[in-house]
Amino acid sequence: MADKNPDLSGLTLLILDDDTLYPDLLRQSLRTFGARVFIAGRPEEVLHEMPGEQVDVIIASLDLADEQCIEMIKQYKAVHPETLFYLMTDQDYDNVETSLDAVKLVVDDYIKKPLDTTRFARMVETSLGRPRTGNTSLSVVEPLISRVKPYFLFRSAAMRQALANLPEIAASGQTVLISGETGAGKELVARAIHVLSPRSSGPFVPINCGAIPESLIEGELFGHERGAFTGAHRTRKGKFESAHNGTLFLDEIGDMPLTLQVRLLRVLEEKKVYRVGGESPVPINVRVIAATRIDLEKAVADRLFREDLYYRLNVLRISLPPLRERVDDVPLLAFHFLERVFAEMGRVPPYPSLSDETIYLLQHYPWKGNVRELRNIMTRVATMLPPGTKKVFPLHIMPHLEEAVRALPLPGEQSTEGIFIPAGTRLDAVEELLIREALKSTGGNRTHAAKLLGISLRTLRRKVNEKKPE
């Protein structure tokens, strides 16, 4: 069921902005959600515009956030601590700079012009503790989440679906194939399967089949006898023997050489290994969990992976979604990683929280490196965060994101080449906005602006003169 429109009825909002048009457009849009909205061009106008009103939300343009403005808001929040304060900027978050330390003490978040008013209204609803719309109950899946919580964190529907049968898979003892992109958490799932299985008291032995040279991987897996080759001064157990009565995790199985795939298939069928240079079989009791980032079915079709081995591994299957398809997990994981780094650094709780806009930014980042990339970025953020910071804002996150990606507009964010016109805006206001933006984009050249608007230069001059204050 789609979310209902946000409800700001009974709330009073104050917009501090000396722009001649945008605040009025913003007021019209926010009023559609039931809010009372006042506008002031300068901080000293506030008492004149709204005498005796208690303000629930203050939105101030970054250009007006001087010491006088911040001090006024700081004093107001000291009396009304529940009041929300947002700084509005038309700059990219990584370019936002403020030398006012007082801002850090009172600002609840940074927001960008032009504002997505529906999303902003929902942000206000959440921040003020109003009931969230839609069904967000996790009660039906809490038993599963609570069982695997020590090993990995999630609450998204995509992960609940992927791991719905994890307890049964763990208990079965069968071979498991886990597929997913790099950094999606395949090894964590494998470890959870092991810990939840009857083999939990035995060893969990991981090996990355793509990280070991082809000339060495056979000895790593199966071991070798003394004297089997130059330098083999003693008998050495392989990973299969080390995992006896436990679980062997074969990560990136798709990178295993074809010649070795034949031997692996034989071991899985016979449950015996032959060490390199050895003639006597060594019995093993091992559960195998394999993982791959590549499409093994395609690899089979391309003759890069043995079909018989594929079907021997693909008894039980878990397909992990990429992080960009489980955005509900992003805030949970982000704060978990922040908290972990703060604890390792010896920082004393309470730890800085994530602002709503930061969460939105993180949830709409593509995360090509999945959970591993998120962990690395939050580690950088926690390490570089200035002392005394109480909230993580987008300006703290942006420098650590890939430059090519952060330059792209977020979903729902207005392109710098366009303008935002809220529903219900008066026609004369729209016309004024279009004329102003055309002149802005042409550097004030009226001839070029008239061409952009599809009107004559004479018409443009008349309209500009009509809108000049008398």
Q: Name the residue ranges covered by the structural domains of the chain.
A: 1-130, 157-323, 326-413, 427-466
pLDDT over 70 (residue 314) = yes
- Token representation of residue 405: 């990606």
What's this model's pTM, rounded to 2 decimal places?
0.78
What does the pLDDT read at residue 132? 46
Burial of 23 (0-12, 13-18, 19+ CB in 10 A): buried
Q: How far is CA 419 from CA 13, 113, 157, 278, 434, in A?
A: 23, 10, 35, 74, 8
Q: Which fold has domain 1-130?
A: Rossmann fold (3.40.50)
pLDDT band at 140 (very low <50, low <70, confident <90, very high): very low
What does the pLDDT average to over 269-296? Answer: 92
Q: What is the CATH number of domain 157-323?
A: 3.40.50.300
Q: What would the pLDDT profile of 47-68 be if each residue is shown by its tens digit?
A: 566 666 789 999 998 877 777 8
Which pLDDT value is given to residue 345? 92
More confident of the two residues 367 and 3:
367
Residue 413 CB-density burial (10 A; 0-12 exposed, 13-18 middle, 19+ buried): middle
Instruction: Say which residue, 421 or 85, is predicted with more confidence.
Output: 85
Q: How confident is the model at residue 419 (pLDDT cuts 50, 70, 90)?
A: low
pLDDT band for position 424 (50/70/90)?
A: low
Q: Looking at the predicted structure, is the pLDDT value of residue 134 above 70?
A: no
DSSP 167-204: HHHHHH---EEEE--TTS-HHHHHHHHHHTSTTTTS-E
Using the predicted structure, report yes or no on whether residue 201 has a pLDDT greater than 90: yes
- Write out the DSSP string of 186-249: HHHHHHHHHHTSTTTTS-EEEEETTTS-HHHHHHHHH-B-TTSSTT--S-B--HHHHTTTSEEE
pLDDT reported for residue 139: 36
Which DSSP category does 151 fall into? T
Q: Are 419 and 444 in contact (CB under 8 A)?
A: no
- C-alpha to C-alpha distance for 290 and 261, rounded to whole angstroms: 13
Q: In CATH terms, are 1-130 and 157-323 the same topology?
A: yes
Residues 421, 432: Cα–Cα separation, whole Å: 11
User: Residue 29 in contact with residue 423, Cβ under 8 Å?
Assistant: yes
Give the mean pLDDT of 43-49: 68
What band does 102 get if pLDDT is binned at 50, 70 and 90?
Answer: low
For residue 307, what pLDDT is reported?
97
User: What average pLDDT does the structure give for the chain?
Assistant: 84
Higher pLDDT, 434 or 3: 434
pLDDT higher than 90, residue 408: no
Instruction: Read off the pLDDT of each residue in 228-239 and give the average, rounded to a whole number.
Output: 79
- Domain at 326-413: CATH code: 1.10.8.60
From CA 212, how far away is CA 83, in angstroms rounded? 58
Lowest-pLDDT choice from 67-71, 192-196, 401-405, 462-466? 401-405
What pLDDT is stored for residue 441 in this prediction?
A: 67
Compute the average pLDDT of residues 201-213: 93
Residue 136 has pLDDT above 70, yes or no: no
pLDDT at 438 over 80: no
From the list 186, 187, 183, the residue with the least C-alpha distance to 205 is: 187
Q: Which CATH number fits domain 427-466: 1.10.10, 3.30.310, 1.25.40, 1.10.8?
A: 1.10.10
pLDDT computed for residue 331 by the predictor: 93
What's the rounded Cα separation, in Å, for the pair 173 and 171?
6
SS3 label, residue 463? helix
Angstrom distance (rounded) from CA 74 to CA 85: 10
- Give the per-residue pLDDT at 356: 93
pLDDT at residue number 85: 92
Whether the Cβ atoms of residue 64 and residue 35 lie closer than 8 Å to each other: no
Cβ pair 162, 318 in contact under 8 A:
yes
* 7-27 residue pLDDT tens: 999 999 999 988 877 888 889
Segment 332-353, tens digit of pLDDT: 999 999 999 999 999 988 899 9
Greater confidence (245 vs 98) lies with 245
